[in-house]
Chains A and B, each alone.
Chain A
Amino acid sequence: MISIKNVRKIFSTKQGLLKAVDEVNLDIKEGEIFGVIGYSGAGKSTLIRMLNGLELPTDGTVNVAGREISKIKGAELRKARQEISMIFQHFNLLWSRTVSENIAFPLEIAGVSAPERKKRVEELIKLVGLEGRGDAYPSQLSGGQKQRVGIARALANNPKVLLCDEATSALDPQTTDSILDLLVDINKKFGLTIVLITHEMHVIRKICHRVAVMESGRIVELGPVLDVFKNPQQPITKRFVQQVTEPEKTKETAEHLLERYPHGKVIQLSFLGEATEQPLITRVIRDFDVVVNILQGNISHTQNGSYGTLFIHLDGQANEIQKAIEFIHSQQVGVEVISNG
């Protein structure tokens, strides 16, 4: 559906040349939810804007839905853009128009007749759950509702691809989740290909099938979300994964506990898929002469399976602890000793 080949984008700034995107190659499949994660300035925004021609690559080619976006111009590009919709961090609604009129805007651009526009707008309002708000102005809506209008507007012309430019970054966690649920819904219902960029691993974890990690204009890691969670390679990826799996408090709790119980070991266990459902801790307590203290646990559900982390404190004879760790290891659970008592 989307193919990016050897793409580079160089901006000339007052400080000299800036490589925003550097030798990027990507293939995104039809019906996939693909995430690009990176800190600000990593080039992810430039990359997504090349997918609808808001930005042109300095080198390389960008193909979306059978068209070479990096080459076409004028009417052909405008036609293509009706099939590649975009939603934005700050929603970018027209404040002078009501919700219904905002959703009708892309239909007006596409030259849809007034009665058909009305019908389509009603469908879309229902789809995004804004029934009864059609005559409200954007200024009367909450952030989450504004983004729903943005999504309805983006879907108006039945696009093939939906680009999400930090679409949930201005929303609170709860609203973020409801918007993400809506995106998954749309993806399943219409088989829409979704490309999203974000700096929040939570967003990737919750809805993406595959993820690319960007740093200084390059893609440094790429793979199915679960694989990246299980086995992050690059330091930057590890940091992103930690955003979700390892709340900051864990370290403090571990330190605090080690002070109080100077013996034993603090261990981080990582579970994947079915392993998350095994009664592992029970077996450790029954079969080995150790005391288990659960410090912190967390299970993350991704689109391709679950991934869990558990921090425990093991106390007892050193050789018993060692045996327990070996047992856990044999159960296909990742074990990492993070501090020795």
Chain B
Amino acid sequence: MADFMELVKWDGLLLATRETIYMTAISVLATFILGLLLGLLLFLTSKGNIWENRGVNIITAGFVNIFRSIPFIILIVLLIPFTKILVGTMLGANAALPALIIGAAPFYARMVEIALREIDKGVIEASQSMGATHGHIIFKVLIPESLPALISGITVTTISLVGFTAMAGVIGAGGLGHFAYLEGFQRNRPMVTLVATIAILILVFIIQFIGDYFTKKTDKR
């Protein structure tokens, strides 16, 4: 046990956990906003909806599909020039953010679209029959009525993002992935890798628990 305590650099683990939480938190926030916008656009411009527009719909869907299909590890590499312009460096937690957001937002956008499609068309029509504006329909009908699905969607996306941060860590972004790879794998200390894994697991469980709680709380069906 004493060996174990010595083998792991606890302050290093703490720092790595903090970096992972930082990267996840910022990218989740941005993914939520960007994904919601893209998802709304996908839904509203589709056939039979209030902004029906085939052109915009096809372009948005194309963008979403392309970025959702690129494996994350390749996306990071592809985005290196873009990241350099944006952040000024390609090392550290901030440098991982553009790739994390661009990788996760399209994924979440599809979930938003599916959540919105679940809403009964009759409810939208009822709002129109009351004289609702498009703003009313989006903010008073679409978002509140799909809230449980939006929350469970962002929970799943957050958990994927924790995985993405680990991958980003390997190529220099820091965090638990970086810690497990550098301190554990490369120095042949499986115990460190195990501890980093457990830290990630705990993080994921907490995220799932919080997500489930709010999904349940908002679901009045």
| Residue positions of A touching B, CB distance < 8 A | 52, 54, 77-82, 84-86, 88, 90, 92-97, 105-106, 108-110, 137-139, 153, 157, 163
Contact = CB atoms under 8 A, between A and B. Distances in A.
A86 B221 CA distance: 23
9 contacts: A78-B133, A80-B131, A81-B129, A88-B122, A94-B145, A95-B221, A109-B132, A109-B133, A109-B140
Contacts of B133: 78, 109
Given A105-B140, A109-B136, A81 B130 contact: yes
A164 to B, nearest CB: 12
A88 B144 CA distance: 21
A97 B144 contact: yes
B156 interface: no
A106 B128 CA distance: 10
Interface residues on B, range: 20 to 34
Contacts of A97: 144
Given A80-B131, A94-B123, A96-B145, 14 more contacts: A52-B129, A78-B132, A81-B128, A81-B130, A84-B129, A88-B126, A93-B123, A94-B145, A95-B221, A106-B130, A109-B136, A138-B220, A139-B220, A157-B130
- Chain A interface, >50% SS class: mixed
Contacts of A163: 129
Contacts of B122: 88, 90, 92
Nearest to B123: A92
B188 interface: no
Given A92-B122, A96-B144, A105-B140, A86 B220 contact: no
Nearest to B121: A92
Nearest to A159: B130
A137 B122 CA distance: 18
A108 B141 CA distance: 12
Contacts of A137: 220
B3 interface: no
Contacts of A54: 125, 128-129
